[in-house]
Amino acid sequence: MHMANELISFPVAGVSIGIAGGVLGWICKSIRQDIVSEKAAVMGVLGAFVFAAQMVNFQLPLMPGTSGHLIGAVFLAVILGPHLAAVVLSSVVIIQCLLFQDGGLLAIGCNLLNIAIIPSYIGYYVYRLAAGNMQNKSRYLAGAIVACVIAALAGSAMVVLQTTISGVLLIPPVLFLATMAGVHLLVGIMEGMITVAILGYLASVRPDLIAGLTASRAVLSRNGALISLAVMTLITAAGFSLLASDKPDGLEWSYLERPEQPDFKPVVANSDQRMDAADKLHSKIAVMPDYSLGNTSELHSASAGWTSVAGIVGSAVCMGLIWLTAKLIRPRRA
Amino acid sequence: MNQAIEISNYSYVYPDGTMALDSINLTIQHGERVSLIGPNGAGKSTLLLAMAGFIRGKGTVLIDGMELCSRTLKQIRAKLGCCLENPDDQLFMPTLFEDVIFGPLNMNLPPQQVKDNVDRAFETVGLTALAEKAPHHLSAGQKRAAAIATVLSMAPQIITFDEPDGSLDPRNRKRLEEVLGRLPQTLIIATCNMRFAAAVSSRVIVVDHGRIVADGPAKSILYDKDLMEAHGLEIP
Amino acid sequence: MHHAYLDKYANQNSFFHRLDSRVKFLAALIYTILILSIPPRSAAVVFCYVVAPFGMLVWAGIPIGFVARRILAVSPFVLVLALSCPFFDQTPYLLRLGDITFQLSGGWMRCFTILAKFAATMLTLFALTCTTRFTDMLAGLQQMQCPSILIVQLSFVYRYLFVLVDRVHHILRARAARKLRYLGLRQEIRIAAIMIAALFIQSLESAERIYRAMQGRGFTGSFHALKPIRINRRDIYFIFVFIGICIFLHSIMRIWLNELNGV
Ligand SMILES: Nc1ncnc2c1ncn2[C@@H]1O[C@H](COP(=O)(O)OP(=O)(O)O)[C@@H](O)[C@H]1O
Ligand SMILES: [Mg+2]
């Protein structure tokens, strides 16, 4: 789920870019130099591998025409360890933005956190916790499934958290969370099954490969790993407490009635403080004033009037002219 | 004067137990152009990897009189350039220019010489106009030429090529023959194509099952029908 | 992302393609921020912001049809979320056009604004990415102090993306030619997993050969900086025009919105 610019507010965008940039910068600074020279090619190729692997789809039952595919975060985290996996997945997210235009420029911080950094750390540590010391095969395969599900849920919870704090959307957070969690539970289970299938197959045909890669996973000191885990937990916990401490159903509803027209059916309006705060902040940063909201007991008047029409028509004419000039210039150039 | 390459009693076993090279003895003079021919799986690629020090087996390898070991590896890599089988492995930077300049920059040469080397390499293979292109926008023939340029820019004395004619059409193969013909270096070329071997080399070494089974002037070996057919090859 | 020439437009040559990547990157960032700062109930205003990136794309010779298709392809998530707005805010607004008036709920206005902003910021992102070669972008990012490990990582991923995508196409074709019906989820997953595992092994093997090629050319662990880029006169022109457009749009919008509020 790539976050778009429009779904988050500036503070959320700024803070998440700060956190993601900080985590990435810190990893890049503390990876040992010998690991860099030895692993540069492997990490690069595995980044490209993620794109290629995501193209291998499998048909889903019951819903003809739909297909699932590997996302790869937990797989990479298991293979490379969380730090290198976070770097590889971050490069994937950046390329998705700058080459495939998936995810907005300002939302890149959120996307780095939700898709790259959080899944690789949470996925890895949940996996290690569940899998133990990898002696028991069925246990470590089960661990991989659990890790995939939890990583997918964590990523989707972050999406809800970020949009809710931003106050751009009007969906009650609990409803949104439930929907996202439901969808991502399925996504996580699928991801877990395919990840386990790949790991199991690799362990049976090339046990040397898996062992060789997992042996050299310790790229940061033990303290570094602990600190990073602590920081991730803190961020997530802070986010959830923010979400939970709010009103239980998230939004407060107010019913408007028009006094002069008693038969007018009541309408739902929402008077969420968070939303209002976001709007107010917006109009403060925006320099531009919003439509005045006026008294809620009256119909809001946003009479865009002729100026709006003029603006739209004017822009359309401009674009038409630009297109025409380009058409006229092109043959001469060729 | 030193020999370009001297290999004595060299054997190599892959970790899975495959005996890929079996007591190889081989001497190559400076300025020679040698083809290594043999069926698939004969050990040609492995022999080239051994020359460049990517694998270590039993026996000794001397490059320009210097014994190959981890201490001398850097100096030897500057003397011996190797062009891998798949150009996609060789061209790992995002543009050709960055790829060709990669080697010279690592050799700490003065900037002017780096520039000269790069320009000369591009000129030799005829890709000057495409320097800013990304490798995935090149044709197979251009990729092959570019892979050669990345080695040429380091100005080595000896260059090894692993099946440089693979997946080339006749016209591109002709061009490659011309490029190789222009190079003044010692060349060692592994190939399965006898016509190509005849065009680019004066000496031919036949390898099979990890051993050298014949070594001599290209004309006499390549046209020895019995020898060639005994090792799954053909006359040009 | 379905063929190796996905970035072909970035390799064209036009005034915009020749601009410094840092200038374009910062311009796109600022323009995105401007668009996002438009208040949440003013879809019509966003429309005027579309003109500039549209013009840049058209004059740079990028087919608008291609851009539109790509934007549609990445839009589903935003689309669904934006369409949820009307359910949760039905505060009525009155729109007046001369004598004609009609009523629209606040949720719909929000929804339209989100979609309009999405289209506008996506066009801006396309104006950046379709006129900038990825390698130039990397050189720019490197000069803007992006960690070199990340730059190396990005350049490797970009380079091998096309190689592996080609390879996966071949594998998928081989499967499509032989898998003629649905095999049940278990079997489907098993086949996909085997394909991915094969791809993974191939990827690791090529990484090993690449590492060999790097060592063969004297690699010792540090990458040398890409060639430096400099701002030239073309970039200065662009910066002035860009600032002019931003100021123009902003002041027009202000007057317009003030007038609306006055009504
Ligand atoms: N990485 C490897 N691991 C194990 N065996 C290998 C490996 N590479 C090559 N071999 C084996 O070594 C032998 C020689 O291979 P190679 O040098 O690639 O032959 P050629 O290049 O002449 O076709 C073959 O039997 C091949 O199967
Ligand atoms: Mg070979």
User: pTM for the complete prediction?
Assistant: 0.82
Report the gap between the CA of C219 and the closest CA in chain B (Å). 6
Pocket of ligand 1 from Cβ distances under 6 Å = B 14, 16, 18, 20, 38, 40-46
Q: Is residue B162 classed as helix, strand or coil in its secondary structure? A: strand
Half-sphere exposure of A6 (CA within 13 A, CB side): 28
Q: Phi, psi (5° rounding) for residue A279? A: -65, -40
Q: Phi, psi (5° rounding) for residue A262? A: -60, -25
Report the gap between the CA of C193 and the closest CA in chain B (Å). 25
Q: Which residue of B has its CA nearest to C7?
A: B137
Interstrand relation of B33-37 and B203-208 (parallel, antiparallel or unpaired)? parallel
Distance of CA B176 to the CA centre of its chain: 13
Query: Between residues 71 and 130 of chain A, which touch chain C (CB distance below 8 Å)?
Result: 87-88, 90-92, 94-95, 97-106
How many domains would you assign to chain B? 1
Confidence of residue A207 (pLDDT cuts 50, 70, 90): confident
Q: Do B105 and C224 touch (CB under 8 A)?
A: yes
CATH 1.10.1760.20 for the A5-329 domain, yes or no? yes
Chains in touch with A (3+ beta-carbon pairs under 8 Å) read C
Strand partners, B63: B5, B66
A269 reaches C (C-beta below 8 A): yes
pLDDT in tens, A217-275: 555 545 555 665 666 666 666 655 555 444 333 333 334 444 444 454 444 455 556 55
Q: What angle do CA A19, A25, A31 make, to 5 degrees?
A: 130
Residue C153 has its nearest CB partner, among A87, A287, A315, at A87
Domain assignment present for residue B236? The answer is no
Q: Is residue B187 classed as helix, strand or coil in its secondary structure? A: strand
Domain ranges (residues) in chain C: 3-132+231-260, 141-216
Residue minimizing CA distance to atom 7 of ligand 1: B14
Which of A118-122, B44-48, C215-219 has the highest average model confidence (pLDDT)? B44-48
On average, the pLDDT of chain B sits at 91
Q: Do C218 and B93 touch (CB under 8 A)?
A: no
Name the one residue in this structure whose structure tokens are 């070594």. B215
pLDDT in tens, C162-200: 889 888 888 887 777 776 677 778 888 888 888 899 899
Pocket test for ligand 1, best of B10, B14, B35 (most atoms within 8 A of CB): B14
Burial B73-99 (b: 16+ CB within 10 A, else e): eeebbbbbbbbbbbbbbbbbbbbbbbb
Report the distance separating Cα B42 and Cα B55, nearest Å.
17
Residue B94 has its nearest CB partner, among C134, C214, C216, at C134
Report the distance separating Cα A85 and Cα A118, nearest Å.
11
State which H helix or E strand residue B216 sits in: strand B211-217
pLDDT in tens, A11-29: 889 889 999 999 898 888 8
The interface predicted TM-score (ipTM) is 0.90
Q: How far is CA B121 from CA A181, B183, C199, in A?
A: 57, 11, 34
C206 reaches A (C-beta below 8 A): yes
Q: How far is CA B99 from CA A83, B122, C32, in A?
A: 28, 11, 35
Report the distance separating Cα B193 and Cα B200, nearest Å.
11
**Any residues with CB less than 8 A from the CB of B87 and at least 6 apart, and which?**
B135, B140, B143, B144, B146, B147
Residue minimizing CA distance to atom 16 of ligand 1: B43
pLDDT in tens, B106-160: 888 888 999 999 999 999 999 999 988 888 888 889 999 999 999 999 899 999 9
Q: Do C154 and A38 touch (CB under 8 A)?
A: no
Report the gap between the CA of B221 and the closest CA in chain C (Å). 32
Distance of CA C207 to the CA centre of its chain: 29
Domain ranges (residues) in chain A: 5-329
C71 reaches A (C-beta below 8 A): yes
**Any residues with CB less than 8 A from the CB of B4 and at least 6 apart, and which?**
B28, B29, B30, B31, B32, B63, B64, B157, B158, B186
What the block records as the tokens of B75 is 């100096």
CATH of the domain at B220: 3.40.50.300
Q: Please report the sign of the dihedral spanned by the C-alpha atoms of residue B202, residue B203, residue B207, residue B210.
A: negative
Report the distance separating Cα C263 and Cα A305, nearest Å.
9
Could you tell me the residue range of the domain that residue B171 belongs to? 5-230
Domain assignment present for residue B235? The answer is no
Q: Which residue of C has its CA nearest to B133?
A: C11
Q: Do A48 and C199 touch (CB under 8 A)?
A: no
Query: Between residues 8 and 47 of chain A, which touch chain C (CB distance below 8 Å)?
Result: 10, 24-25, 28-29, 31, 33-34, 36-38, 40-47
Report the distance separating Cα C165 and Cα C171, nearest Å.
10
CB C143 within 8 A of CB C229: yes
CB C79 within 8 A of CB C115: yes
Which of A1-5, C5-9, C224-228 has the highest average model confidence (pLDDT)? A1-5
Distance of CA A261 to the CA centre of its chain: 46
C-alpha of residue B45 to centroid of ligand 2, in Å = 4
C-alpha of residue C174 to centroid of ligand 2, in Å = 25
Residue B106 has its nearest CB partner, among C4, C163, C218, at C218
Strand partners, A16: none
